[in-house]
């Protein structure tokens, strides 16, 4: 029998002596009381697994009321302690009453040793099981808190592309439909997923995000479905998986396009049945999740190439939301830039800092291949590097390629000339003679262009 801690409460010292001899090898710690008055103190100071509690302590009284009273007191303090009642009076009704009150079992004096040991073994196993369940619940609560407790982040923008996207979000958020969110890297697909959850019926529950690209083949089932203690070498305790932890809320599978075909099959089986089985267990557990998936890959093309299961794509793609790239929502760039400037000016202790007009022009003319993430990081660096109360073009440290200057269909000739001058001045650290030489024009012509385009700050 797995060893634990037992407290025996009986006013008959011969009973205590007999139980000590019987149980000394069966429990790691045994303590005794001849009466229950010291019980509250022991509950406070000692982690008790099993209590063997006499029903009666006063001579001539065999109603069992005193035992029932202390049973209630124990369970008030810790309802997971296994209490076994012991009585000399064979009163079945009294024993049933005690079990209705929360006792796990009862034994009669005089007892049969094997039966008593079996009863206490079951009581100890129940206590261990209850403690394990509580531990798992606490882990789940902590997991939900850590994964779902992030502060709400805002989707910034009013461009036609963003307005249309948010119209789709409004339509789908209140349902439990599966949503597939696609878009280039850095466009803010995770923000859209968070917004769908925030506007959903499950908003008071957790949203758990799993980076599918970061999970190895060997750990996939353990991470998503959970595992039982001893199911593999490092499984030192039972652990719930991410799907089970998300039950009742939203499960977001990021980078789902990175899953191998074998893992896609396992995921599809769980999504179809809405049941999971922990590694090392035969018991299937029902789950209730709302599924949101994210990818920057073309899943239709992957299906055609045999790299993604068509049935899984149908399962996750009830509603498709495409997040626009920053170059397709350029009217949002000034608003986004001011948003990030406010964030980082506060973070780095520069609350009065502002963009120069040239800086805003530069931000709007850049193509942003890294999308919003690149814009955010560029402005953070610019705030750090800026001197005085302004973010100037050179603080942004943007690198324009020839393609960005000449192949953008929205650029006019003036736009391209202005950008070439900005690049030349920045590359030569404001040295106008060197910039003019690089551009193949005279210094005076460069001064005229600088004045024309309002680039004096450079």
Domain range summary for the chain, segments of one domain joined by +: 5-131, 160-324, 328-453
Counting every residue written for the chain, the total comes to 458
CA 198/CA 415 separation, integer angstroms: 41
Instruction: Say if CB 183 and CB 325 are below 8 A apart.
Output: yes
CA 107/CA 116 separation, integer angstroms: 7
- Matching CATH number, 160-324, of 2.60.320.10, 1.10.357.10, 3.40.50.300, 3.60.130.10: 3.40.50.300
| H or E element in which residue 30 lies | strand 29-33
For the chain, 458 residues long, give each residue's pLDDT as a single digit of tens.
Answer: 457 899 999 888 888 889 988 998 889 899 999 888 889 998 988 999 999 998 877 654 556 678 888 999 999 999 999 999 988 765 667 777 888 899 999 888 888 899 999 999 989 988 988 887 777 667 666 666 655 545 556 799 999 999 999 999 999 999 999 999 999 999 999 999 999 999 999 998 889 999 998 888 888 999 999 988 888 877 777 888 899 989 999 999 999 999 999 999 999 999 999 999 999 888 889 999 999 999 999 999 999 999 999 999 999 999 999 999 999 999 999 999 999 999 999 999 999 999 998 889 889 888 899 999 999 999 999 999 898 899 988 888 886 554 454 445 556 667 777 878 887 887 777 788 888 888 878 888 888 888 887 776 56
The yes/no answer on whether domain 5-131 falls in CATH 3.40.50.2300 is yes
- What's this model's pTM, rounded to 2 decimal places? 0.65
CA 60/CA 63 separation, integer angstroms: 9
Distances (CA, A) of 17 to 14, 57, 198, 299, 345: 5, 17, 63, 73, 75
Write the DSSP symbol of residue 205: S
Q: Which CATH fold would you assign to the domain 328-453?
A: Helicase, Ruva Protein; domain 3 (1.10.8)
Write the DSSP symbol of residue 230: T
Peptide bond into 99 cis (omega under 30): no
> CB neighbours of 234 closer than 8 A, spacing ≥ 6?
none
Assess whether the region 5-131 and the region 160-324 belong to the same CATH fold. yes
């Amino acid at each position: 029998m797995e060893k634990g801690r037992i407290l025996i409460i009986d006013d008959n010292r011969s009973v205590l002596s007999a139980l000590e001899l019987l149980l000394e090898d069966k429990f790691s710690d045994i303590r005794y009381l001849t009466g229950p008055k010291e019980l509250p103190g022991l509950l406070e100071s000692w982690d008790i697994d099993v209590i063997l509690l006499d029903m009666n302590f006063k001579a001539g009284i065999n109603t069992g009321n005193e035992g029932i009273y202390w049973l209630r007191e124990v369970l008030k303090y810790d309802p997971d302690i296994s209490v076994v009642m012991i009585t000399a009076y064979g009163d079945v009704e009294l024993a049933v009453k005690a079990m209705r009150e929360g006792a796990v079992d009862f034994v009669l004096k005089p007892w049969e040793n094997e039966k008593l040991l079996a009863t206490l073994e079951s009581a100890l196993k129940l206590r261990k099981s209850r403690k394990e369940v509580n531990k798992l619940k606490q882990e789940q609560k902590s997991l939900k808190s850590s994964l779902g407790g992030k502060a709400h982040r805002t989707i910034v923008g009013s461009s036609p592309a963003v307005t249309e996207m948010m119209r789709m979000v409004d339509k789908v958020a209140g349902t439990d439909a599966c949503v597939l969110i696609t878009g280039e890297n850095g466009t803010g697909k995770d923000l859209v997923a968070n917004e769908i959850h925030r506007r959903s019926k499950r908003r008071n529950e957790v949203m758990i995000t799993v980076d599918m690209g970061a999970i190895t083949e060997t750990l996939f089932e353990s991470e998503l479905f959970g595992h039982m203690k001893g199911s593999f070498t490092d499984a030192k305790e039972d652990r719930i998986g991410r799907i089970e932890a998300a039950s009742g809320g939203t499960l977001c599978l990021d980078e789902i396009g990175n899953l191998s075909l074998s893992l896609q099959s396992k995921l599809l089986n769980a999504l179809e049945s809405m049941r999971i089985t922990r590694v090392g267990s035969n018991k299937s557990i029902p789950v209730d999740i709302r599924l949101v998936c994210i990818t920057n890959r073309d899943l239709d093309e992957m299906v055609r190439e045999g790299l993604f299961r068509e049935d899984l794509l149908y399962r996750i793609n009830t509603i498709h939301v495409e997040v626009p790239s920053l170059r397709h929502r350029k009217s949002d760039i000034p608003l986004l830039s001011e948003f990030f400037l406010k964030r980082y000016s506060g973070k780095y202790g520069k609350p009065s800092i502002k963009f120069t007009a040239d800086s805003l022009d530069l931000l709007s003319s850049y193509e942003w291949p890294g999308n919003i993430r690149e814009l955010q990081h560029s402005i953070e660096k610019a705030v750090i590097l800026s001197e005085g109360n302004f973010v100037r073009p050179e603080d942004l440290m943007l690198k324009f390629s020839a393609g960005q200057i000449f192949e953008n269909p929205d650029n006019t000739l003036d736009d391209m000339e202005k950008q070439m001058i900005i690049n030349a001045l920045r590359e030569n650290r404001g040295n106008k003679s060197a910039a003019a030489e690089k551009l193949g024009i005279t210094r005076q012509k460069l001064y005229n262009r600088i004045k024309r385009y309002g680039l004096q700050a450079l």
